[in-house]
Amino acid sequence: MPNAQKAAAWLPHGIVLEAAALRAVKTMRSTLVVAGPGAGKTELLAQRACYLLQTSLCPAPFRILAISFKRDAAANLRDRVLARCGRDYATRFDSLTFDAFGKDLVDRFRLALPSDYQPTADYRVLTTEFTDKLIWEAVQALPDARCPLTGPQRNALRWDAATRGLVGQPLPIADWDLGRPELTAGAGLWMHWLHDHGQSALGFPMIGRLADFLLRQNPALVAALRSTYRFVFLDEFQDTTRIQYALTLTAFRGGPAVLTAVGDNKQRIMKWAGAFGNIFQQFVADFEADTERLTQNHRSVSRLVGIQQFFAQALDPEAAQVVSARPEPPEAGECRAFQFANEQAEAEHLAGLIHGWIRDEGLAPRDICILCRMKTAAYTATLIERLAAADIAARIEDNFQRVLSEDICAALVDVFTLATQRSAPHAWERTLGFLSFLSGGYDHTDVHNLATRLLTFTDDLARRLTDAVTGEDEIGALLAEVLAFFGRNEVCAAFPQYGQGSFLDDLLGDLTDFLVDARSRFPWPEAVAAVIGAGSVPIMTTHKSKGLEFHTMVFIGLEDDALFNYARDAEEETCGIFVALSRAKQRAFFTFSSQRSVGRYAAKSRHAIDGLYNLFEQAGIAVETVA
């Protein structure tokens, strides 16, 4: 069948798309898709991949590149394309994060950089420690040979100015105005971290700058990228940083690729991490892109969507009127705001509610999420104790999310799941897909052989996971065996970040610790489930909740202290509450406590964030005082 006929006959897989979404799926022009919470942004991109691949509008050997902001989002999109297209097509779909995309370029082609900018092959990646504070302290410790600034001049730099001096300008340093103290310090820190310790050390923003510089220095690499990827997807586009957008422009502006950027400016809560505030308009101008706006919410019931609309209009007076695509009646759904005398009363009340939702409504603990603006441990310690007294587990997810969102860790846990459960079809499919991806084998014979190998290995692992296996050395050795089953070299080749420094071994150590702790409390099947989080109420920051959804969301600490940035940037804090509210499918609760043992003063207020309470009041949500 000719491509035009295939395109005309193609239908979405398992979903009815609204008209704007279908246009975005089928267009052959660069497009900005403005899509609010629950609009099905990930599904739209998965359907677009299927459309382009199955109709041969993206014919072999051309590929599709999808770039997401978070690792779990990239993995989710890759899994959806595999499930909808099948392995034969999914092998030409690359789903990465911006960090992974930039790092892959630097790792493969670092020797094409000028010698002054070449990191060592085993360079160390600064991840969680790459902060304004670390950069400022590194500037203070720079040798005079690297930085001619005096001690007082260095001390006078603000923390954020030190960071801007390091990564705020495109490379090369020769183009910088070194009369500015922060740029002088930044230039010295670049050379110090690249060359002065035998092993280079780079944060991901630095890697992004190097990748952009690499492409600008090597037009042949740009040509190779453009001849490989004829379609590029950009997910969660509102969170894209200036560094990431500069890399996108260098790689694809002026080339043949058709770009699809999907995002929601009302969920822009990453400005603190450098998100580009005007990026939607800039993208439309740079890529001469069309704009599509989605108006359906497939996540939240009508009542919650109506409340979300008040926040949406406050953030963007031109925001489209969104309607719920859920079949529930208009009165379905619940949104409430509570005021408590202290955190003990708050914890007692919330623990009672959560116990009732699990016991009376049949909700699973993972259907409920506790969100905080920051300091999750401090804001939820009393609640965790009260829930434990009611035999309900709750855990802070931040560290688990960091580890389990890594492709290799998710694959390792899937193998342990297969070894400890009678039936785990999703884990089986994911593991088989992971093996296929590593081996490059996508025909039926290869998949059958991989399935046979996997079954044999997991059966053997199941026999060895006895009650006696509880220690760190034993569990660590078993994880190493599963990694060897996948092939450490193959994993590092497919995911270059795992070949750098001690990153992979550090992840294995973290995963070992998780399993050891779980085994101290549960038999093997329940221990593996506990690591995944089954049976516990998740607790996380609003930032970590992006892309997730829950039947019930409880936001703790709608208070001046927690939303301390409201006076300076009301828009970003309002975006944060909009994100929290929009995680809920059926129920959203917010709490305020007059006394809380967090921060400098125990007494709490909400005068500075009256604007948020006014939005709730406009939406018909009155604050309920609980004795």
User: Which position has the higher pLDDT, 434 or 181?
Assistant: 181
Options 3.30.700.30, 1.10.287.610, 3.40.50.300, 3.40.50.1820; CATH for 302-400+542-626 is: 3.40.50.300
- Strand, helix or coil at 605? coil
Helix (H, G, I), strand (E, B) or coil at 99: helix
Quote the longest CA-to-CA distance of the chain.
73
Residue 73 scores a pLDDT above 90: no
Residue linked to tokens 């950027």: 261
Query: Where is 51: in which H helix or E strand?
Result: helix 41-54
**Euclidean distance between CA atoms 510 and 521, whole angstroms:** 17
pLDDT category of residue 270 using cuts at 50, 70 and 90? low
Q: Which residues pair with 340 in a beta bridge?
A: 593, 626
Query: Which residues of 160-269 form beta strands (DSSP E)?
Result: 201-203, 229-234, 258-263
> How does residue 7 score in pLDDT terms, banded at 50, 70 and 90?
confident
Going by pLDDT thresholds of 50, 70 and 90, the confidence category of residue 248 is very high
- pLDDT band of residue 392 (cuts 50, 70, 90) is very high
**What does the pLDDT read at residue 271?**
58
pLDDT, tens digit (0-9, with 9 covering 90-100), for 120-146? 998 988 876 688 899 999 999 999 999
- Candidate CATH numbers 2.40.50.100, 3.40.50.300, 3.40.50.2300, 3.30.70.890; the one for domain 3-102+217-294: 3.40.50.300
Q: How far is CA 477 from CA 16, 174, 481, 575, in A?
A: 48, 49, 6, 45
Q: What is the pLDDT of residues 413-452, one digit of tens each?
A: 999 999 999 889 989 988 988 888 887 655 555 777 888 9
Residue 412 buriedness (CB in 10 A; 0-12 / 13-18 / 19+): buried
**Among 385, 383, 429, 382, CA closest to 410:** 429
Locate 450 and state its tokens: 């991989």
CA–CA dist 437, 419 (Å, integer): 21
Q: Tell me: pLDDT of 3 over 80.
A: no
The answer, yes or no, to whether residue 8 has pLDDT greater than 90, is no
Least confident of 355-364, 438-447, 544-553: 438-447
pLDDT band at 273 (very low <50, low <70, confident <90, very high): low
Q: Which amino acid is at 527?
A: A
pLDDT score, position 519: 95
297-312 per-position pLDDT tens digit: 999 999 999 999 999 9
* Averaged pLDDT, 452-481: 93
Contact indicator for 346, 616 with CB cutoff of 8 Å: no
- For every residue of 427-447, DSSP letters joined together read HHHHHHHHHHHHHT--SHHHH
Per DSSP, 39 falls in state: S
Residue 464: the pLDDT is: 93
Quick one: which of 548, 549, 513 has its CA closest to 530?
A: 513
For residues 63-84, give the mean pLDDT: 87
CA distances 263 to 283, 394, 404, Å, are 12, 31, 25
Residue 574: per-residue pLDDT? 93
Can you give the pLDDT at residue 448? Answer: 79
Q: How much is the average pLDDT of 479-488?
A: 96
Asked if residues 68 and 236 have their Cβ atoms less than 8 Å apart, the reply is: yes
Please check whether residue 55 is in contact with residue 3, taking contact to mean a CB–CB distance below 8 angstroms.
Answer: yes
pLDDT at 278: 84
Give the mean pLDDT of 548-571.
Answer: 94
Percent of the chain with pLDDT over 90: 73
Return the H-helix or E-strand segment holding 292.
Answer: strand 290-293
Rounded CA-CA distance 503/505 in Å is 6
Determine the 3-state secondary structure of 378 from DSSP: helix
The tokens describing 24, both together, are 């975005």
pTM score, whole prediction: 0.86
**Residue extent(s) of CATH 3.40.50.300 domains in the chain:** 3-102+217-294, 302-400+542-626
DSSP for 341-365 reads: SSHHHHHHHHHHHHHHHHHHS---G
**What pLDDT is stored for residue 28 in this prediction?**
96
396: its two tokens: 């802070």
CA 602 to chain centre: 33
* pLDDT of res. 272: 54
Q: What pLDDT, in 10s, does the model give residues 41-71?
A: 999 999 999 999 999 999 999 999 999 988 8
- CA 551 vs. chain centroid, Å, equals 20
Instruction: Round the average pLDDT of the chain to a whole number and report it.
Output: 91
pLDDT tens per residue across span 189-240: 999 999 998 899 999 999 999 999 999 999 999 999 999 999 999 998 988 9
Mean of pLDDT values over 351-366: 96
Average pLDDT over residues 175-193: 96
d(CA 416, CA 623): 46
DSSP letter at 600 equals S
Q: Is the pLDDT of residue 479 over 80?
A: yes
